[in-house]
Amino acid sequence: MAKYIIKRILVSIPLIIVTILIVFLLLQVVPGNPIAVMMGEKANPEVIAKVTEEMGLNDPLPKRFFDYLVNLVHGDLGSSYKLNRPIAGLIADAFPNTLKLAITSAIVAWIIGIPAGIVSAIKKDTLLDRFLMGFSLVGISLPVFWAAMLLQYIFGYSLGILPISGYATAKHMILPAFVLGWASSGTIARLTRSSLLGIMKNDYIRTARAKGIGETLVVVKHGLKNAMIPVVTMMAMQFASLLSGAVLTETVFGIGGIGVLMVSAINARDMPLLQGSVIFSTMIIILGNMVADLLYSVLDPKIKEQ
Amino acid sequence: MLFNNKKRNEAVDILADRIVAGFSPAQDRPKGTDWIPKRATEPIRIEEASEALIAPSETIKDQLASMFKNNKVALVSAIVIVVFIIGTLFAPLFAPCDPYVQDLGNRLAAPSIHHLLGTDNYGRDILSRMMYGGRVSLLVGIVPTCIYMAIGTILGLIAGYCGGIVDSIIMRVADVFMAFPSMLLAILISYTLGAGMLTIFCALSFVSWGGTARVVRSEVLSLKEKEYVEAANSIGVKTWVILLKHILPNCVPTLIVLFTMNVPGNILTESGLSFLGIGAQPPSTSWGLLVFQMKKYLSKSPIATLAPGIAILILVVAFNFLGDALRDKLDPQLKD
Check CB contact of B288 with chain A, cutoff 8 Å.
Answer: yes
pLDDT band at B12 (very low <50, low <70, confident <90, very high): low
For residue B335, the chain A residues in CB contact (below 8 A) are 194
* Three-class secondary structure of residue A289 per DSSP: helix
Asked whether A146 and B292 are in contact (CB, 8 A), the reply is no
B306 to A150: CB separation less than 8 angstroms, yes or no: yes
Check CB contact of A13 with chain B, cutoff 8 Å.
Answer: no
Q: Which of residues 126-165 of A touch B (CB under 8 A)?
A: 137-138, 140-147, 149-150, 152-153, 157
pLDDT band at A57 (very low <50, low <70, confident <90, very high): confident
- Range of weakest confidence among A170-179, B49-58, B175-184: B49-58
Contacts 24+ apart (CB under 8 A), A70-76: A72/A20, A72/A279
Asked whether the predicted pLDDT for residue B151 surpasses 90, the reply is yes
Angle ∠(A137,A138,A142) on CA atoms, nearest 5: 120
Residue B53, pLDDT score: 57
List the single best residue of B267, B273, B276 to mutate versus A (max A Cβ within 10 A).
Answer: B276
pLDDT tens-place string over residues B315-326: 999 999 999 888
- Cα distances from B37 to residues A265, B24, B30, in angstroms, run 86, 16, 12
Check CB contact of A21 with chain B, cutoff 8 Å.
Answer: no
Q: How many CB atoms lie within 10 A of CB B287?
A: 30
Q: Which residue in B181, B264, B335 is closest to A141 by CB distance?
A: B264
Q: Which residue in A144, A278, A289 is closest to B188 by CB distance?
A: A278
pTM, to two decimals: 0.82
Asked whether the predicted pLDDT for residue B307 surpasses 60, the reply is yes
**CA atoms of A64 and A59, how far apart (whole Å):** 6
B306 to A149: CB separation less than 8 angstroms, yes or no: yes
Q: Which residue in A143, A191, A274 is closest to B309 by CB distance?
A: A143
Our CA-based measurement puts residue B280 at a distance from the nearest CA of chain A, in whole angstroms, of: 15
Give me the interface pTM, i.e. the ipTM. Answer: 0.85
Residue with the bigger pLDDT between B36 and B219: it is B219
- Cα distances from B144 to residues B10, B87, B165, B198, in angstroms, run 42, 21, 29, 11
Residue B187, pLDDT score: 83
DSSP output for B116-165: TT-B-TTS-BHHHHHHHHHHHHHHHHHHHHHHHHHHHHHHHHHHHHH-HH
For residue B319, the chain A residues in CB contact (below 8 A) are 141
Asked whether A98 and A257 are in contact (CB, 8 A), the reply is yes
Asked whether the predicted pLDDT for residue B4 surpasses 70, the reply is no
B187 to A263: CB separation less than 8 angstroms, yes or no: yes
List the single best residue of A24, A127, A140, A146 to mutate versus B (max B Cβ within 10 A).
Answer: A146
Range A183-202 average pLDDT? 90
Alpha carbon distance, N-terminus to C-terminus of chain B:
26
Our CA-based measurement puts residue A211 at a distance from the nearest CA of chain B, in whole angstroms, of: 31
CA-based nearest residue in chain A for residue B290: A146
pLDDT tens-place string over residues B223-257: 888 888 888 888 888 888 888 888 898 888 889 88
- % of residues, chain A, pLDDT over 90: 25
Asked whether the predicted pLDDT for residue B98 surpasses 80, the reply is no
**CA atoms of A219 and A118, how far apart (whole Å):** 9
Domains of chain B are 80-334 (1.10.3720.10)
* DSSP-assigned letter for residue A223: I
Residue B35, pLDDT score: 44
Asked whether the predicted pLDDT for residue A37 surpasses 60, the reply is yes
**CA atoms of A208 and A258, how far apart (whole Å):** 49
Range A165-183 average pLDDT? 86
pLDDT tens-place string over residues B100-118: 777 777 777 777 777 777 7
